[in-house]
Amino acid sequence: MRLSSRAERMSPSPTLSVDARAKELALSGERIINFGVGEPDFDTPQNIKEAATEAMYRGQTKYTPVPGVLELRKAICEKLLQDNGLEYRPEEIVVSCGAKHSLYNAIHVLAEEGDEVIIVAPYWVSYMEQIKLAGARPVVIKASAENGFKIKPEDILGALGPRTRAMILNTPSNPTGSVYTPAEITTVAEALSDTGIWVVSDEIYEKLIFDGARHASIAAFNPDIKKRTIVVNGVSKAYAMTGWRIGYAAADAEVAEAMAGLQSHCTSNPDSIAQAAALEALRGPQQSLSLMVAAFAERRDYILHRLAQIPGIKCNKPGGAFYVFPDVSAYFGRKFGCATVASGSDLAALLLEEAKVAVVPGAAFGDDRFIRISYATSLENIKEGMDRISQVLSI
């Protein structure tokens, strides 16, 4: 069968595949500990569910404007002003079916055949494929663990070429959990200042930040950078709403209009009931968010403590999101039964096979010396999972 070259170039999301495999094994009766997918284990807060129910009974069950209902776009503007010091008008906001969809729209209105888009490795899985789907070429800058998985201005300058169109910045980061300080964002913004390139700023983990750190959006650096930035955010992570599929982008009106135009031919508006839920998430009480952040911080500390006890594993302390990204290369060349581990992928396969623990190999994020462990699961599961990992690796 001949499919389009676009379809043939693309590989499906490895994070979602690991999750599907873990769930399949669990269904067949295995007691799997799933550290695979990045999805809060908490339920969506009750007030948000109630807002959705009310919207449904009120009859908010029809098409809405493609970029989302006006009230939600106003609430997003209020949020961006309050949290990020960013002034946007409702016509500069496009609500989409998850932040993944917002990123897709952003990349597709910016980049085309022959263009280059800079991404920072370790990178989140979908950036690479979305850039390729747009016909553009991903240019990867490697950020080292020694530098907290963050890039320096000279790294950006070294990656620029005549076809560079945009750069994707992700803080807090998936998969490393690293968080750029406001001062570091300033140096990145300064490096980008005279380049004319666009920034797609993925801020989906903004609220999941620990140790009193502060999230800074690059768009707030100055009006010129703001004009060339598409800020991407959403409710999936902060409000435990992954299944509702609501993300949003904020951009200059002309860009937002193009993104909405693209969306008008793909999905039309995002789900009308989920939009009512997102409105309540943004405007309603925020207590459940603080409870979740406190739980994530506790889990992070526990998992770091356990990883530190496993010989050879090196792991940075992440400042945000809900992942740890340990370097497991000390295990390369080691034999476990008849299998020799030579990569993060081999180790992930071993952990699934022998420990019944699902993790994502670093290869999915551009560096297979690592594995990603999501701690968006209960402390009880984390304890059990870490016991099992320690046991398998101690052989």
Positions in the binding site for ligand PMP (CB under 6 A): 38, 98-100, 124, 170, 174, 202, 204, 234, 236, 242, 247
The residue from 13, 181, 187, 286 that contacts ligand GLU (CB under 6 A) is 13
User: Segment contacting ligand GLU (CB under 6 A): 8-16, 192-200, 264-272, 286-294?
Assistant: 8-16
The residue from 34, 44, 102, 174 that contacts ligand GLU (CB under 6 A) is 174
- Measured from the CB atom, the residue of 270 and 326 that comes closer to ligand PMP is 270
- Measured from the CB atom, the residue of 22 and 145 that comes closer to ligand GLU is 22
Side chain identity, residue 267: T
In this structure, what is the dihedral angle of CA atoms 266, 268, 270, 271, given to the nearest 10 degrees?
-120
Minimum CB separation of residue 321 from ligand PMP in Å reads 7
Q: Which residue is nearest to ligand GLU (CB)?
A: 38
User: Segment contacting ligand GLU (CB under 6 A): 11-19, 47-55, 145-153, 302-310?
Assistant: 11-19
Q: What are the backbone dihedrals phi and psi of residue 137, each rounded to the nearest 5 degrees, phi first?
A: -110, 125
Residue 235 found at the interface with ligand GLU (CB under 6 A): no
In this structure, what is the dihedral angle of CA atoms 173, 176, 182, 188, given to the nearest 10 degrees?
-80
Residue 74: alpha-carbon gap to chain centroid: 24
Dihedral of alpha carbons 166, 171, 173, 179, sign? positive
Minimum CB separation of residue 56 from ligand PMP in Å reads 21
User: 27, exposed or middle or buried, with CB in 10 Å at 0-12, 13-18, 19+?
Assistant: exposed
Residues 49-108 within binding reach of ligand GLU (CB under 6 A): 100
384: region left, alpha or beta (phi > 0 left; psi from -120 to 50 alpha):
alpha
Q: What are the backbone dihedrals phi and psi of residue 219, each rounded to the nearest 5 degrees, phi first?
A: -65, -20
DSSP-based three-state secondary structure for 221: coil
Residue 297 found at the interface with ligand GLU (CB under 6 A): no
Interface characters, 33-52, with ligand GLU (x: CB under 6 A): ----xxx-------------
Residues 121-150 within binding reach of ligand GLU (CB under 6 A): 125-126
- Measured from the CB atom, the residue of 38 and 319 that comes closer to ligand PMP is 38
DSSP string, 151-201: --HHHHHHH--TTEEEEEEESS-TTT-----HHHHHHHHHHHTTT--EEEE
Using CB under 6 A as the binding criterion, the count of chain residues that bind ligand GLU stands at 10
The entry of ligand PMP, ligand GLU, none that residue 329 binds, CB within 5 to 8 Å by partner kind:
none
Q: Measure the CA–CA gap between 299 and 84, rounded to whole angstroms.
A: 27
Q: Which residue is nearest to ligand PMP (CB)?
A: 98
Q: Measure the CA–CA gap between 84 and 378, rounded to whole angstroms.
A: 31
For binding to ligand GLU (CB under 6 A), which residues are involved?
13, 15-16, 37-39, 100, 125-126, 174
